[in-house]
Structure 1
Amino acid sequence: MCGLSGIFSSRNTELEAVVRLMNTSLIHRGPDDSGVWIDGNVGIALGHRRLAIVDLSEAGHQPMHSNCGRFVIVFNGEIYNHAELRQALHDDGLISTGLKGHSDTEVLLAGLASWGVEKTLNASVGMFAFALWDRQEQVLTLGRDRMGEKPLYYGWQDDILLFGSELKAIKAFPAFRAEIDRNALTLLLRHNCIPAPYSIYKGIAKLQSGHYVVLPLTDLSAAKAAIPQPYWRLNDAVAKGLADPFTGSPETATDLLEAQLRSSIGQQMLADVPVGAFLSGGVDSSAVVALMQTQSTQAVRTFTIGFDEGGFDEAVHAKAVSRHLDTQHTELYVRPQDAAAVIPRLSSMYCEPFSDSSQIPTFLVSQLAGQELKVVLSGDGGDELFGGYNRYLSAKKIWSKMQHVPSFARQASASLLRSVSPTTWDSLFNLAKPLLPSRFHVSGPGDKAHKLANVLKLADGHEFYLQLNSHWSDPASVVIGGEEPPTMFTDASRWPKTDSFEHWMMAMDAQTYMSDDIMVKLDRASMAASIEGRVPMLDHRVVELAWRMPLDLKIRNGQGKWLLRQVLYRHVPKELIERPKQGFGIPLGEWLRGSLREWAESLLDEARLVRDGYFRPEPIRKMWSEHLQGRGNWQSHLWTILMFQAWLDEQ
């Protein structure tokens, strides 16, 4: 895991000074080593910060030159099958003279030099972002992994090209014009994040997952007009899997999934430094840890955090799973003051506004793990691949009933639901809970009741899904001068073709929420703690296998992740896992009314909102008042505004 940066400017004589500034801004991503390479005649400079994981020797130093001398690379990530690629290159007679070390970067570079970009990327298993400079053709190629685990920003300012792992590297360019894109800001309010290819700054894009872009720098007009090309698309994997579905028994399906997960996890455990795992006690992380433990000669190191507030503490479940698997477990209970201490760091940590509030516990557990090791495996991805989110279980059922109800009746029901505050709904639910079947025991019933009220007026299932994934439902009415740009949510030509509404939602989530939110959160939080987060569920071979599995092996008897659970129950007793799904959240609503109130009030001050000129203050102040009075739980809406305001303070 590392950080990369670079600049192209045919007229800039200060290339070395600039690329060193860019490189220094990424020191948290690579505290072990740094390097720059400059070709002043052409006007290109590459920078690299290294977190040494594989081949800790000088042979892994970057920027790295190919054996033929034609190519130079800076690379961030891991190629998990680099040993197999090395053998394939050797068998093809392409590295008969041998390589200098055993790093995955060296193997990737040899493949790119010998096989070309598409063949090498399709042969590679890993998470990565890279910049490859062809000295002969003077062409720069930028590439990113299939599922968007590693980030890469790039863009032009006049005739100067800037690129880097994070926006802070691009902003380190002394003449950078940091013009906020108000249209992208509307996307932040809707989604809690800014989806690719947009960024918070005009003229700077995120390279989309599964894409590469070729920039011929001898022809600036062609380079500026270059369009990223896909080498792998999830929609293709979905279509291929659904066209060739698995038809065997559930037992055989469980065998296949366990074998692939075991292989993927085994590859991701390989490192020249200690490796551990995050453990929440849920299905995904427990499955990862269980399969790690079967392949380890020592107790796997596991890490979790907990909260004293009821409804948010999963540490007790993690401890129970740890005891059964006999892991070396570390836990930390988080107090409001611990979260408050992290908040001032968030705007710098995430480099552009980002408001998934689970960013706080993700950083805290990364920081905890970082005290002992450099690599952790995460269970992210299981929900999107195997049908774990509650919306997969309820959305189709709710929508199929809703569409048969007359509009006036839906509107009346929505008014009734919203007439009762979320806190009152929670209290009523707790009173009735002993009388309800276990399948109705859900977390946050008050919030869910208000979300249901918001969707009762919608016209079709796709609008329903967008509403479920929206925070501010009309962000353009809040952002002054902002107009919501098209995204995958609104462009039907980009939608996956599936056999069910549930599968459609899962495929959409994997390409939006997963890559733009979950992976951003994990990458920035782990990198801020200078550790590498690996996600074995997102090995594309696991992804492709999951899409061959019929829906009834994912969602069965009103329960998601059925097939993944069968793998897990071979290693962990069912009773340690079975409980209502609980997200990786924090008691943010309570904290905003309590320990964080003064901080929030200063950022939501009406005079300040008017002075900054980005938001219309009326709806924000109304929500803040209702939240403080307990008449609404607007924590996610308010957190988005707060994170932008805090980020703005850093600029």
Structure 2
Amino acid sequence: MCGLCGLIEPDAPTESDLRHAVGRMNDTLVHRGPDDQGLWLDPAAGVALGHRRLSILDLSPLGHQPMVSHCGRYVLAFNGEIYNYLALRRDLGETLPWRGHSDTEVLLAWISRRGVAATLPQLNGMFAFALWDRQERRLTLARDRLGEKPLYYGWNRGRFLFGSELKALTAHPHWQGTLDRDALAAYLRLSYVPAPHSIYQGIRKLEPGTSAALDQGQQTPVIRAYWTAREAVERGLAAPFDGSRAQALDALESLLSDAVGLRMQADVPLGAFLSGGIDSTAVVALMQAQSAKPVRTFSIGFHETGFDEAPYARQVAAHLGTDHTELYVTAQHGIETIVDLPRLWDEPFGDSSQIPTLLVSRMARRDVTVCLSGDGGDELFGGYSRYLWTRETWRRIGWVPLGLRRALAGAVTAIAPGTWDRLLRPLGRLLPGPLAIANPGDRLHKAIDVLTGDSPEALYLRMVSHWNDPAALVIGAQEPASVLTDPARRPRTGSITESMMFMDSCLYLPDDILVKVDRASMGVGLEARVPLLDHRVYEFAWSLPLRWKVRGRLGKLPLRHIVERHVPRALMDRPKMGFGVPIEHWLRGPLRDWAEALLARDRLLADGILRPDPIRAKWEEHLAGRRNWSYYLWDLLMFQAWLDAAGAAPSASRRP
């Protein structure tokens, strides 16, 4: 696991200028690769590559990067792991003059022998790489199928820059960044900036499963997809699994065991994140089944009621016999961590579970260099409770004319949440589900607003949105389209549940979950591997009928059944909790002064980016305890904190 960066300077810079620029870019990625660094320059072509190395396989200098191919034609800066590299090496035979046993050398050899286009579909791994073809004078950037590893690129002041993180691009001595207000609008809806956008105009994220080729003298890279989630879904639906449910479970467990085993390859200490939920338990159980000694496991707990999964993780660890470590998170941990968030994430990122993810990564790094994670199970096997909620809600209200639903919503929201609180609280436990809470009026307002969609997909968009009209909040912005808003980007699944699963695997998974895991783990020099996102598992999951994955209120049935082969059902028989933090309470308490400074009206007016009135209204309602706007406010706070950390970088865009 590593970090990479580089540039193409068309105007023939001196070698010293080129080295200085790429050296500055490379230095920003030391957290991703503390073990080694390397630069490679071709001054005549105006090309420079930089690399920071976290040594996982072949710890010797023979794994040093950027690496030149045996034939001398290609130079590679590579971030990630190719898990099937031993099989790929055997396919090439032992006739090559192998220098070491790294996956980087195998990848280069395959590209030299077969070419980039033929090599990419053969790779099983998480990766992003930059390849310079000295013969054709062509730069190729590529990213893994599901987007586990990041890669940014784009022209800036006449230079083509690229890197694993935005901070590498902004470190170029002549960088000048302009805030992308449209991307900011998308961020305020989703709490993350979706690919291919970035927070800076002209800088893009390479999308999962694609490559970008830029020939010298060209301005626009040629983007090609070698794998798409949509095609994988359509293939799975068109050719469903031909066998019984029991056979499917056996096949899935065998596939998952192989995926886990491949990701246990390392020349350094290895462990796993364990929440005690279905996904992480499945991964740890399959790890322990293949390990001759107790697997190191790590979990996070909270003192606040409703957030603490640590006791469940502890019970699972005890049953499986792992070597378990846990940390309880306090508000003080949150305060101490917040200062690191803008620096590590580089662009606004509003998923507050970034805090415990960073803390558990930091804890694990004291003992191991690689950790396996259980991410991806919800998207593949229908695990999110919002899938059930959306499906059941649309079944019950979809037949009601849209005009009538909107009129009802208007009538409900015309009554203030405080009034609803006074009316509903006395009913106490007699109220169903979401109304049996401390602030029922707040929940009622939010729920009734969601019901005004004109289709189940529109209902889901409202369900996952934070700010429903973010373009009205960001001065001069127009929100870009996404798979959530453009039906043409979605396959015909015939099921709203499968449609939601697909949308999440294209957007929420790569741009929120995997970004969170990558930045948190790499921020402390820890490699995180995700077995459930082996592309073979993804493709197999979509060949299974939905009824085998979701039944009634239960999702992830195949994973549940596999876990029950290793862990008693009683340990898993509990509601899904997620990995949240008590931001609602922290903002009214220990984080209040910090938040007030970032959301001050004078500051917002001076920035000229966001309209202060709706922001101040939500902040004051939240402080008064009338509404819970913590998700909305955290998005804004992370943007404001990023703006401070970015300094002068986006200043050119502060006026509309």
Residue 478 of structure 1 corresponds to: 473
- Whether contact under 8 Å (1:402, 1:410) holds in the other structure is no
Which amino acid is the alignment partner of residue 379 of structure 2?
E
| TM-aligned CA deviation for residue 412 of structure 1 | 2.4
- Whether contact under 8 Å (1:429, 1:445) holds in the other structure is no
Give CA-to-partner distance per residue, 1:248-307, whole Å, 9 cap, x none: 222111111110000000000110001100000000001100000000001000001110
- d(CA) in 1 for partners of 2:482 and 2:419? 31
TM-score (norm 1): 0.95
| TM-aligned CA deviation for residue 416 of structure 1 | 3.5
Deviates more, 1:292-301 or 1:394-403: 394-403
Residue 633 of structure 2 corresponds to: 638
Residue 25 of structure 2 corresponds to: 22
Which amino acid is the alignment partner of residue 207 of structure 2?
Q
Give CA-to-partner distance per residue, 1:101-148, whole Å, 9 cap, x none: 111111111111111112211011000000000001100000000000
| TM-aligned CA deviation for residue 159 of structure 1 | 2.9
Query: Can you give the 5+ residue segments of structure 1 that lack an aligned partner in the other structure?
Result: none
Residue 6 of structure 2 corresponds to: 6
| TM-aligned CA deviation for residue 391 of structure 1 | 1.7
Residue 117 of structure 1 corresponds to: 116
- d(CA) in 1 for partners of 2:422 and 2:251? 44
- Whether contact under 8 Å (2:191, 2:635) holds in the other structure is yes
Q: Structure 1 residues 571, 400: CA separation in 2 closer, same or farther (over 3 Å shift)? A: same
| TM-aligned CA deviation for residue 490 of structure 1 | 2.2
| TM-aligned CA deviation for residue 411 of structure 1 | 3.7
Match of 1:38 among 20, 27, 41: 41
Residue 542 of structure 2 is aligned to residue 547 of structure 1: yes
- d(CA) in 1 for partners of 2:468 and 2:4? 36
| TM-aligned CA deviation for residue 189 of structure 1 | 0.3
- d(CA) in 1 for partners of 2:188 and 2:251? 41
Residue 435 of structure 2 is aligned to residue 432 of structure 1: no
Match of 1:393 among 384, 388, 395: 388
Which amino acid is the alignment partner of residue 384 of structure 1?
E
| TM-aligned CA deviation for residue 402 of structure 1 | 1.4
* Superposed counterparts of 1:162-201, under 5 Å: 162-201=161-200
* Superposed counterparts of 1:129-528, under 5 Å: 129-217=128-216, 219-220=217-218, 224-406=219-401, 407-409=403-405, 411-412=407-408, 415-416=411-412, 419-420=416-417, 431-432=428-429, 449-528=444-523
| TM-aligned CA deviation for residue 482 of structure 1 | 1.0
- SS of structure 2 residue aligned to 1:228: strand
| TM-aligned CA deviation for residue 409 of structure 1 | 4.8
- Whether contact under 8 Å (2:51, 2:65) holds in the other structure is yes
| TM-aligned CA deviation for residue 10 of structure 1 | 2.9
- SS of structure 2 residue aligned to 1:581: coil
- d(CA) in 1 for partners of 2:496 and 2:566? 32
Which amino acid is the alignment partner of residue 246 of structure 1?
F
- Whether contact under 8 Å (2:439, 2:626) holds in the other structure is no
Residue 69 of structure 1 corresponds to: 72
- SS of structure 2 residue aligned to 1:140: strand
- Whether contact under 8 Å (1:476, 1:483) holds in the other structure is yes
Residue 653 of structure 2 corresponds to: none
Q: Structure 1 residues 538, 32: CA separation in 2 closer, same or farther (over 3 Å shift)? A: same
Residue 576 of structure 2 is aligned to residue 581 of structure 1: yes
- d(CA) in 2 for partners of 1:408 and 1:488? 28
Match of 2:564 among 569, 578, 583: 569
| TM-aligned CA deviation for residue 493 of structure 1 | 1.9
- SS of structure 2 residue aligned to 1:127: strand
- SS of structure 1 residue aligned to 2:340: helix
- d(CA) in 2 for partners of 1:24 and 1:426? 59
| TM-aligned CA deviation for residue 458 of structure 1 | 1.5
- d(CA) in 2 for partners of 1:493 and 1:457? 22
- d(CA) in 2 for partners of 1:83 and 1:517? 31
Q: Structure 1 residues 427, 132: CA separation in 2 closer, same or farther (over 3 Å shift)? A: farther
- SS of structure 2 residue aligned to 1:30: coil
Match of 2:643 among 631, 637, 648: 648
Q: Structure 1 residues 30, 422: CA separation in 2 closer, same or farther (over 3 Å shift)? A: farther
Residue 86 of structure 2 is aligned to residue 89 of structure 1: no
- Whether contact under 8 Å (2:439, 2:627) holds in the other structure is no
| TM-aligned CA deviation for residue 428 of structure 1 | 5.4
Which amino acid is the alignment partner of residue 583 of structure 2?
L
- d(CA) in 1 for partners of 2:498 and 2:446? 22
Give CA-to-partner distance per residue, 1:329-387, whole Å, 9 cap, x none: 00000110111000011000101111111111110010010111110000000000000
- d(CA) in 2 for partners of 1:111 and 1:316? 47
- Whether contact under 8 Å (2:421, 2:441) holds in the other structure is yes
Q: Structure 1 residues 410, 116: CA separation in 2 closer, same or farther (over 3 Å shift)? A: same
- d(CA) in 2 for partners of 1:28 and 1:5? 14
- SS of structure 1 residue aligned to 2:307: coil
- d(CA) in 2 for partners of 1:302 and 1:440? 38
Residue 57 of structure 2 is aligned to residue 54 of structure 1: yes
- Whether contact under 8 Å (1:414, 1:456) holds in the other structure is no
| TM-aligned CA deviation for residue 503 of structure 1 | 0.6
Which amino acid is the alignment partner of residue 452 of structure 1?
A
- d(CA) in 1 for partners of 2:105 and 2:312? 42
Deviates more, 1:145-154 or 1:552-561: 552-561
Deviates more, 1:59-68 or 1:391-400: 391-400
- Whether contact under 8 Å (2:153, 2:160) holds in the other structure is yes
| TM-aligned CA deviation for residue 455 of structure 1 | 1.4
Query: Can you give the 5+ residue segments of structure 2 that lack an aligned partner in the other structure?
Result: 647-656
| TM-aligned CA deviation for residue 558 of structure 1 | 1.8
| TM-aligned CA deviation for residue 580 of structure 1 | 1.2
Give CA-to-partner distance per residue, 1:527-547, whole Å, 9 cap, x none: 111100100000000000000
Q: Structure 1 residues 139, 561: CA separation in 2 closer, same or farther (over 3 Å shift)? A: same
Paired residues, number: 641
Residue 651 of structure 2 corresponds to: none
- Whether contact under 8 Å (2:157, 2:176) holds in the other structure is no
| TM-aligned CA deviation for residue 228 of structure 1 | 1.2
Which amino acid is the alignment partner of residue 125 of structure 2?
G
- d(CA) in 2 for partners of 1:70 and 1:336? 54
Q: Structure 1 residues 447, 152: CA separation in 2 closer, same or farther (over 3 Å shift)? A: farther
- d(CA) in 2 for partners of 1:67 and 1:265? 31
Deviates more, 1:105-114 or 1:26-35: 105-114
- Whether contact under 8 Å (2:283, 2:374) holds in the other structure is yes
Which amino acid is the alignment partner of residue 240 of structure 1?
R
- Whether contact under 8 Å (1:442, 1:581) holds in the other structure is no
- d(CA) in 2 for partners of 1:116 and 1:429? 70
- d(CA) in 1 for partners of 2:278 and 2:385? 14
- d(CA) in 2 for partners of 1:88 and 1:2? 26
Residue 602 of structure 2 corresponds to: 607
- SS of structure 1 residue aligned to 2:31: helix
Which amino acid is the alignment partner of residue 373 of structure 2?
S
- SS of structure 2 residue aligned to 1:185: helix
- Whether contact under 8 Å (1:443, 1:582) holds in the other structure is no
Give CA-to-partner distance per residue, 1:130-178, whole Å, 9 cap, x none: 0000001100000000000000000012431100000000001111111
- d(CA) in 2 for partners of 1:413 and 1:156? 47
Which amino acid is the alignment partner of residue 253 of structure 2?
E
